[in-house]
């Protein structure tokens, strides 16, 4: 089941070739990747999926494919719009944005809830749930939920995990990063620190200077 830091791909904003960015993010602790790139012809997208699966296999990770076609795999992430009922695969996720969409779930294994924060990838998309809205939807969800949308900082990761999400799905924070490994490591460390039961670091007092 996806958890921790889940990476969504976008070759248009990636600073390096997509497979390289994903490989570097995997080096920073990412173990779940969602392949988007829906505009590519199926053959190209399937070849890309095979490359990414090979990268993830080295660390026991897994690739989810956005859309109903798993491109030779067995895990998909579906949009809120459909299809319903979901196809039968080993792992099926769905994007949700409100309680009405959560009510339509049937056999899905997990959901993403978005947008939690304003996002550069989809400006104007929203309104943002913010942590309080995320908490309400997590409580209403019948399956584990990942937080998605505008998550770029350790504080945002901590807020999402505090609201009950089992992980955070990120795109720009890693795709746009000068160092994807460092970016992924920072977010992964924030996730692990924020897990329930983990001791929290002391809060630094604000300087009045």
Query: Has residue 205 got a pLDDT over 60?
Result: no
Residue carrying the six token digits 């990120």: 170
* Angle CA 124–145–56, to nearest 5: 95
Across the chain, mean pLDDT equals 92
Query: Quick one: what percent of the chain has pLDDT higher than 70?
Result: 91
Question: If you average pLDDT over residues 118-146, what whole number do you get?
Answer: 87
- Residue 123: is its pLDDT beyond 60? no
Predicted pLDDT of residue 121:
61
DSSP string computed for the chain:
---EEEEEP-TTT-SS-HHHHHHHHHHTT--EEEE--TTS-HHHHHHHHHHHHHHHHTTT-EEEEESS--TTSSEEEE-TT--SSPP--SEEEEEE-SHHHHHT-SS-SEEEE--SS--SSSTT-----HHHHHHHHHHH-SS-EEEESS--SHHHHHHHHHTT-SEEEESHHHHT-SSHHHHHHHHHHHHHHHSTTSPPPPPPPPP--
> Looking at the predicted structure, is the pLDDT value of residue 99 above 70?
yes
In whole angstroms, how far apart are CA 46 and each of 51, 130, 202? 9, 35, 47
Residue showing tokens 């955070």: 168
The mean pLDDT of 184-207, rounded to a whole number, is 72
Confidence of residue 209 (pLDDT cuts 50, 70, 90): very low
Mean pLDDT across 16-31: 98
Q: What confidence category does residue 196 fall into, taking pLDDT thresholds of 50, 70 and 90?
A: confident
Sign of CA dihedral 38, 176, 190, 134: negative
C-alpha span between 188 and 182 (Å, rounded): 10
pLDDT, tens only, 62-95: 999 999 999 999 999 999 999 999 999 999 999 9
């Amino acid at each position: 089941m996806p958890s921790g830091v889940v990476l969504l791909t976008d070759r248009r904003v990636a600073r390096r070739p997509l497979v390289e960015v994903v490989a570097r993010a995997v080096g920073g602790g990412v173990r779940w990747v969602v392949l988007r790139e829906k505009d590519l012809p199926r053959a190209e997208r399937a070849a890309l999926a095979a490359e990414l699966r090979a990268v993830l296999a080295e660390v026991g990770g897994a690739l989810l494919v956005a859309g109903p076609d798993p491109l030779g795999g067995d895990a998909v992430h579906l949009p809120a719009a459909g299809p319903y009922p979901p196809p039968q695969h080993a792992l099926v996720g769905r994007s949700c944005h409100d309680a009405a969409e959560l009510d339509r779930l049937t056999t899905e294994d997990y959901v993403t809830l978005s947008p939690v924060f304003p996002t550069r990838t989809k400006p104007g998309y929203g309104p943002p749930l913010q942590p309080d809205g995320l908490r309400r939807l997590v409580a209403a969800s019948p399956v584990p939920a990942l937080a998605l949308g505008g998550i770029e900082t350790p504080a945002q990761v901590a807020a999402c995990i505090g609201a009950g999400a089992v992980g955070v799905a990120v795109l720009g924070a890693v795709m746009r990063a000068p160092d994807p490994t460092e970016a992924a490591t920072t977010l992964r460390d924030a996730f692990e620190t924020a897990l329930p039961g983990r001791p929290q670091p002391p809060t630094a007092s604000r300087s009045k200077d």
